Amino acid sequence: MINLTTMLSRFICKPLLVCLTVMVLTARSEPAYPLDELQRLNSFGVANQSQIFTNLEAASDIKKVVGFEFINCTSNTLAQAYRKHPETEYLALGYEEGGSWNDSNYAELAKFKELRYLEIWSRTSFTISDKIESLKRCTKLIGLSLRFRGFRGTGSVTISDGVYALHSLEELYIYSGSGSPPIGISKLSNLLVLELLRTPVTELPKDFDQLKLRGFLCVAGGLSNNSVLKFPKSLEYLDLTLNEFKSIPAEVLNSQSIKYFILNHNNVQNLPTDWSKNPQLRIVSLTRNEITNVPPLTVLQPPFERFELYGNPIQSIDPKSAQIVWIDTNNFNPIFK
């Protein structure tokens, strides 16, 4: 799983942060995007690293083990882990070349009644079958990460509808998935965060807006202005980096809940002038687009803080927008209309 710090360093430029005024460039502090409180799967592993072991031998003298990170794990290894440490809360199962995910693992995983976070990744393509439904017995399972970790374009993870039977899930991460989430994802009634990375999503399921999501990240997908976008009314954090948008979606402008909107590395050329319909909006990040002109921007301030426009070929900025626009100053000679 990619945590917030890693995600931002990868997709949000980090030059000197500045706030433009009509005559003066004033430095500001590094922005904070409060999604970490929701992305608990990764933070749990980091916080408990001293109690997470890579093999059973290392944990042989430990009375209480928080978790294991196994490479090329078999069902036999999982069975031994459960017999010795049924209290395990975290499992990360990785498969390098020579190893492969096997459906026989589900029966052993389902025995871990205290399991809260599960990660499965592989260097080669693999399939999550309907047998994953057996993990319904892990009633405390709230975080699931499924990812193909080979070279981009060389494989994927195929996920069956069985994953949507895991109603306890609050976080779901799919990396290099083989397709869009199917209709029925709304069955995950407790889901708070959905992250899709390098997954060919061109449309959202019709029932997508029925979710109670607070964070949705679709990075390097295939969404565009032609996609039907209906977001949950609870959504606070939206990241559509590396998609195919040419303009700001109306669904974002009309939202009443989105606080943080990230649309980096798309093909946006023009900025809408009116952003005042959303009383919650705080930060808009549009780095590495094709924006040349910043018009007079109407926002509700507070709570609105800034537009981040690093890496755009900006030629002019309206003075009324200067105090809320952040850009990099390299090779930029601001012309104020």
Residues 322, 285, 24: CA angle, nearest 5 degrees? 25
Tell me the domain boundaries of the chain: 4-19+40-244
DSSP letter, residue 181: P
Per-residue pLDDT averaged across 77-105, rounded? 95
What pLDDT does 152 receive?
Answer: 78
Closest-CA residue to 199 (of 227, 217, 178, 216) = 178
pLDDT of residue 183: 67
What are the tokens at 68? Answer: 């294991």
Alpha helices, DSSP H, located in the chain: 4-11, 40-47, 75-84, 105-109, 250-253
Please give the share of the chain, as a percent, with pLDDT higher than 70: 86
Give the pTM: 0.86
The answer to whether 67 touches 89, Cβ cutoff 8 Å, is: yes
Res. 300: pLDDT tops 80 = yes
302 burial (CB, 10 Å; 0-12 / 13-18 / 19+) is exposed
As a whole number of angstroms, the distance between CA 132 and CA 103 comes to 8
- pLDDT for residue 153: 76
The model's confidence at residue 18, banded by pLDDT at 50, 70 and 90, is very low
Cα 316 from Cα 309, distance rounded (Å)? 12
At residue 8, the pLDDT reads 33
Are 274 and 252 a contacting pair, CB within 8 Å? no
Q: How many CB atoms lie within 10 A of CB 252?
A: 22
Could you tell me what percent of the chain has a pLDDT over 90? Answer: 70
Q: Give me the sign of the Cα torsion angle 195, 248, 233, 162.
A: negative
**Which architecture, in CATH terms, is 4-19+40-244?**
Alpha-Beta Horseshoe (3.80)
Express each pLDDT in 243-296 by its tens digit.
999 999 999 999 999 999 999 999 999 999 999 999 999 999 999 999 999 999
Mean pLDDT of 166-190: 88
Please tell me the predicted confidence (pLDDT) of residue 13.
36
> Residue 146: helix, strand or coil by DSSP?
strand
Query: Do 101 and 75 meet the contact criterion of CB atoms below 8 Å apart?
Result: no
